[in-house]
Amino acid sequence: MMRSLFSAVAGLKTHQNKMDVIGNNIANVNTVAFKSNSVTFNDILYQRTSGASSANALTGVGGRNAKQVGLGVSTATISTNITTPGSTQTTGGAFDLKISGQSFFIVNNGTENYFTKAGAFDVDAVGNLVMASTGYNVMGWQVDTVDPTTIHKDTVSALQIMAPKNKISDPEATSKGKMTGLIDENDPDVIRDSGKVLNLDFYDALGYKYTAKFVLKSAKSDGLYTIDLTDVLDASGASISSEYPSKELASYFGSGYTYDYIDVSSKTTTNDLRTVGGNIAASGTAAGYYVKEINNIFYAYDTSGSFFRAEEDGNGGYNLSTPVKASVVLSEMNYVDTSNKKYELSVDETTGDLLISEEVTEEVREAKTVSNTIGGALVRYDPDTGYFDYIGSTGTTNMPLRLGSLDGKFSDIDIDFTSTKTFDNDGDSTVGLTAGDAKGIGAGKKMGNMTGVSIDTNGMIYGTYDNGTTRLLAQIAVAEFTNPGGLEKAGENLYQTTLNSGDFDGIGLDITADGGSMTSGVLEMSNVDLSTEFTDMIITQRGFQANSRIITTSDTLLEELINLKR
């Protein structure tokens, strides 16, 4: 038989293999993340009819090449064009991912890991992230149990991102707060005794919302104000004071401040102090009021120790105007006027007695300074600059609302006052209290229900909740191989390792390790190039046709040989 027949048969077979590969490529032109194959040929065994000889210098005969007759062709390789990316198709699906670079997603069928470029994922009935086509679990890393804001990169495992524990966000008690804005010392709300009401909304550890009500008032001294806790209301607006009848809510804010005044309640005669005569506009009665002249300023006070600025009315009496704190009066006091006689006055720090430079009536000598400490805090601003100075005591910038000791479900709330100032704002104060610090940390929150899931470019999966929380749920891990072209296709867009691809260590990599990334809402399409495939199809067809002609021509030659017998 003629050797050309066998060579042609080999040619037909190899071209048929190539046409099969081309057909498979074209069939998968729209398959997600399909990687096209290409075929290369090589020649096979040669039959040598004569060997090569070298030149002979003595005879002058030159060398001759060997004579070889080839015996056909075979398929050398069928390579996967795995490093060539396909085009991007937008889907909008939250779990559709395109992976860039040389990495592969890792999926598991329950017993074995596979690898894929196809990121068409979905969530199954128990919350696992899976391949939509096969149901194989997408593998990755879980959140660190110690620090839930980080990932623990251990052996990959299934990502149950929609597990029941991930569908809700735990509530959190408020632990920080801040007061911001401007205080205008001429604000009517700040000046009046009832003060300016400020509300702080906060949460307990169970996610229930409350409102702490404060009152900000002027202390009738430059740059000095008081802020007191007056009540705590639940979400329905009801006071919680009745829940804690043995406790005074006001004592849970600030360190308390001292309210000093002179106790003259025992005075029954007026020989020693000038009785106010005439009309007293603020009280409607002249009875029981006394006047002291302090640094050329008249002050009136009654038997309860309430002080007012007093102005002579020109008719022998006084009109009472702005009420003032007794502590302010004492700070200005340097003498007392009794029966038009002046006596130097000071306060004994141990006993609180008024000390006078000359002997006067027993009643005056027994008058005492009374300290009444109540809940709340003094806030001081620099009178010259208007900037915050301290709260409670010098150098202190924060004051705790100590509700944690009231009930274990509350957290103490550390309130920062440094962002407030006292400037002229046409009598309008803009101060307010808000939960959380300047970065929003410690604001507290109610329990949240999951409203969405997102995946960022490095494979981090986050859950978003209706309480404003965004929580890290897991991270998708990827695999890389020394020779990705050595992976073996396992069908269903899957690959598996071979002896020539390199092994998977079971841990995987962060996709950013090689500069890769993930894009959500899109898929990688097939990298099949139809123009190339059709060109290869024409070439393959012609090659197949030419080999078939070898067979028919060889058959004709054999026929002529047989005809010699006739």
pLDDT tens, residue by residue, 373-384: 445 788 889 988
Tally of CB atoms within 10 A around 105: 29
Looking at the predicted structure, is the pLDDT value of residue 105 above 70?
Answer: yes
The confidence band for 564, taking pLDDT boundaries of 50, 70 and 90, is confident
pLDDT band at 53; cut points 50, 70, 90: confident
* Span 506-526, average pLDDT: 92
* Interval 520-561: pLDDT, tens: 999 999 999 999 999 999 999 999 999 888 888 887 888 888
Place of tokens 């924060």: 398
* Bridge partners, residue 387, by sequence: 421
Q: What is the pLDDT of residue 246?
A: 67
The edge-to-edge listing of strands for the beta sheet with 413-421 is 398-401, 413-421, 176-182, 432-435
Q: Give residue 150's pLDDT.
A: 94
pLDDT at residue 305 greater than cutoff 70:
no
Say what percent of the chain tops pLDDT 70. Answer: 77
Alpha-carbon gap, residue 64 to 67, rounded angstroms: 9
Residue 489 φ then ψ, to 5°: -70, 130
Residues 525, 98 contacting (CB under 8 angstroms): no
Which pLDDT belongs to residue 331?
42
Kindly indicate the confidence band of residue 261, based on its pLDDT and cuts at 50, 70 and 90: very low
Residues 6 or more apart in contact with residue 294 via CB below 8 angstroms = 329, 332, 333, 334, 335
Is the per-residue pLDDT at 116 higher than 80? yes
pLDDT at residue 335, rounded to an integer = 39
- The percentage of the chain sitting over the pLDDT mark of 90, rounded to a whole number, equals 52
Of residues 4 and 28, more confidence is placed in: 28
Taking CA atoms, 460 is separated from 128, 477, 478, 517, in Å, by: 15, 9, 12, 11
pLDDT, average across residues 386-406 = 88
Which pLDDT score, from 0 to 100, does residue 346 have? 45
The domain over range 176-256+375-435 is classified in CATH as 2.60.98 = yes
> What is the per-residue burial (b if ≥16 Cβ within 10 Å, else e) of 7-27?
bbebbbbbbebbbebbeebee
Closest CA to 211 of 186, 234, 185: 234
> 192-201, 220-229, 437-446, 449-458: lowest mean pLDDT where?
220-229
Query: If you average pLDDT over every residue of the chain, what do you get?
Result: 81
Note the pLDDT of residue 370. Answer: 37
Query: According to the model, what pLDDT value does residue 35 have?
Result: 92
**CA separation for the pair 227, 219 (Å, rounded):** 10
Q: Say what the pLDDT of residue 285 is.
A: 38
pLDDT at 121 over 80: yes
CA 358 vs CA 27, 344, 361: distances in Å: 117, 8, 10
Measured CA to CA, the distance from residue 295 to residue 346 in angstroms comes to 14
State the maximum Cα–Cα separation within the chain, in Å, rounded to a whole number: 169
* More reliable by pLDDT, 395 or 370: 395
Contact 2, 54 (CB under 8 A): no
Give, as one character, the DSSP assignment of residue 290: E
Q: What is the pLDDT of residues 147-158, one digit of tens each?
A: 989 999 999 999
**What residue spans define the domains of the chain?**
3-50+65-82+528-563, 90-169+449-524, 176-256+375-435, 260-371
Pairing status of strand 88-90 against strand 341-347: unpaired
Is the pLDDT score of 257 beyond 60? no
What pLDDT does 463 receive?
95
CA nearest 524: which of 98, 103, 81, 36?
98
Q: Which of 119-133, 196-210, 245-259 has the lowest mean pLDDT?
A: 245-259
User: 27 Cβ partners below 8 Å, 6+ apart?
Assistant: none
341, amino acid identity? K
At residue 511 the predicted structure's pLDDT band, cuts being 50, 70 and 90, is: very high
* pLDDT given for residue 324 in this prediction: 56
Q: What are the angstrom distances between the C-alpha of 68 and each of 6, 44, 188, 309, 378?
A: 16, 12, 114, 128, 109
Element (H, E) at 489: strand 488-491
**What integer pLDDT is reported at residue 223 of this predicted model?**
83
Average confidence (pLDDT) over 351-371: 39
Most confident option among 260-264, 330-334, 474-478: 474-478
- Residues 235 and 369: their CA atoms lie apart, in Å, by 43
Distance CA(117)–CA(85), nearest Å, equals 10
Q: How sure is the predictor about 275, in pLDDT bands with cuts at 50, 70 and 90?
A: very low
Query: Edge-to-edge strands of the sheet including 388-391?
Result: 196-203, 209-221, 224-233, 377-381, 388-391
Q: Examine the pLDDT at 274 and tell me if it is beyond 90.
A: no
Instruction: Quick: pLDDT tens for 307-359.
Output: 566 776 666 666 666 665 544 444 444 334 333 333 444 444 454 444 444 43
- Each residue of 547-556: pLDDT tens digit? 888 888 887 8
Query: Does the structure show a pLDDT above 90 at 565?
Result: no
DSSP symbol at 61: B
**How far, in Å, are 85, 353, 481 from residue 257 at the CA level?**
72, 20, 71
Whether the per-residue pLDDT at 563 is higher than 70: the answer is: yes
Residue 249 has pLDDT above 80, yes or no: no
pLDDT band at 25, cuts 50/70/90? very high
DSSP string spanning 88-119? EEE---TTEEEE-TT-EEEEE-SS-EEEES-E
How far, in Å, are 169, 175, 206, 231, 416 from residue 172 at the CA level?
9, 9, 7, 22, 19
- Helices 530-563 and 3-27 cross at an angle (nearest 10°) of 160
Q: Is 226 helix (H, G, I), strand (E, B) or coil?
A: strand
